[in-house]
Structure 1
Amino acid sequence: MKKKPVKYSGISDEVDYSIPDYKTIISISSKDQLNITLSKCGLGMLSNLGTAFAEAAKQTSECFQEDEAPFVVKNRLGLTVSVVYSDMFCPLGCEATENRVELQNGESVNMDYRRTTTHSDQFSAMTSLVAKDYYIQPTPAGHTSASMIPLIKVGRGMYSVMHKVSGVTRFLVCQIYSVQGSKHIKIRSPFQASYRSTGGGGGGGGLLPYPSSFSLHCT
Structure 2
Amino acid sequence: MNIYACNFWFLGLDQATEVTESFREQDGRNDGESFTTDIKVVQVTLESGLGHRTVPLLLAESSFSGSAKNWSSLLQLNADMTPEVNYFNESHAVWEPLLERVDSRTRRWNLKLEMKNNPVQDKSPVPGDDFIVLPEPRTAVNICSKDTMNITVSQCSLNVFANLAKAFSEGTASTFDYSLKEKAPFTVRNALGIPLLVQHSANLRLVGSSAQGKLHEVAVDQSVDLEHSVFEPSSRGKLSALQRQESCLFNLSIVPSGYSEISNIAVDKPGRRLYNIRGPMLQEAVSVLLQIDAAEGNKVITVRSPLQIKNHFSVPFSVLKFCPASRSLQPLGVAEPHREFHVALETYRCQLFVQPAGRLQAQYAASSTCVAWKEQVHHSSEVREVNFSKVPMMMRQPYSCPVRRNFLSGIQVEFKQSPHQRSLRAQLHWLQTAGQQRVGGAL
Asked whether the two chains share a fold, i.e. TM above 0.5, the reply is yes
Residue 115 (structure 1) shift: 2.6
Question: Are residues 1:204 and 2:319 paired?
Answer: no
- Work out whether 1:135 is the aligned partner of 2:135: no
Distance 1:17 1:153, change over 3 A: farther
For 2:226, the equivalent position in structure 1 comes to 111
Q: Secondary structure at the match of 2:269?
A: coil
Structure 2: how far apart are the matches of 1:102 and 1:124?
Answer: 29
Residues 1:90 and 2:205 are matched in the alignment = yes
Q: Can you list the C-alpha shifts for 1:75-128, whole angstroms capped at 9, x where unaligned? A: 111110111111111012579884111001111111011134547432358625
SS at the partner of 1:148?
strand
Query: In the alignment, is residue 68 of structure 1 matched against residue 183 of structure 2?
Result: yes
Separation in 2, partners of 1:215, 1:12:
34
Q: Within 5 A, what are the aligned runs for 1:101-180? A: 101-116=216-231, 118=234, 120-124=236-240, 127=243, 129-180=245-296
Distance 2:373 2:209 in 1: 33
Query: Partners in 1 of 2:370 and 2:235 — Cα distance?
Result: 50
Give how far 1:17 is off.
Answer: 4.5
Q: Closer, same or farther in 2 for the Cα pair 1:208/1:146, shift >3 Å?
A: farther
2:96, 2:179 → 1: CA distance? 22
- Are the aligned partners of 1:158 and 1:171 in contact in 2 as well (CA < 8 Å)? yes
| 1-structure distance, mates of 2:152, 2:190 | 38
> Are the structure 2 counterparts of residues 125 and 82 from structure 1 closer, same or farther at C-alpha, using a change threshold of 3 Å?
farther
Structure 1 SS opposite 2:280 = coil
Deviation at 1:148, TM superposition (A): 2.0
Deviation at 1:146, TM superposition (A): 1.4
Structure 1 gap ranges (5+): 1-9, 24-52
Is the CA contact 2:205–2:212 (under 8 Å) kept in the aligned structure 1?
A: no
Which secondary structure does the structure 2 equivalent of 1:16 belong to?
Answer: strand
Query: TM (normalized to structure 1)?
Result: 0.63
The 5 Å alignment of 1:20-99 reads 21=152, 62=177, 65-92=180-207, 98-99=213-214
Residues 65 and 199 (structure 1), Cα distance of their counterparts in 2 relative to 1, 3 Å cut: closer
Please provide the CA RMSD for this pair: 4.2
Q: What does residue 306 of structure 2 align with?
A: 190
- Calculate the TM-score normalised by the size of structure 2: 0.34
Cα deviation for residue 165 of structure 1 reads: 2.5
Change in Cα spacing, 1:82 to 1:106, as seen in structure 2 (3 Å) is: same
**Structure with the higher strand share, 1 or 2:** 2
Question: Are 1:82 and 1:138, in contact at CA under 8 Å, matched by a contact in 2?
Answer: yes
| Counterpart amino acid of residue 91 in structure 1 | L
Cα drift, residue 73 of structure 1:
0.7
Partner SS state of residue 237, structure 2 = helix
Is 1:15 matched with 2:94? yes
Paired residue type of 1:62: D
Q: Give the number of equivalent residue pairs.
A: 177
Q: Tell me if structure 1 keeps the 8 A contact 2:93–2:245.
A: no
Whole-angstrom CA distance in 1 between matches of 2:90 and 2:180: 31
Post-superposition Cα deviations, 1:38-57, rounded to whole Å, max 9, x if no partner, equal: xxxxxxxxxxxxxxx9xx87
Query: Aligned partners of 1:74, 1:66: CA distance in 2, in Å?
Result: 18
Structure 2 residue matching 1:123: 3-state secondary structure? coil
User: Per-residue displacement from partner, 1:2-52 (whole Å, max 9, x unpaired)?
Assistant: xxxxxxxx99522324558459xxxxxxxxxxxxxxxxxxxxxxxxxxxxx
Residue identity (%): 22
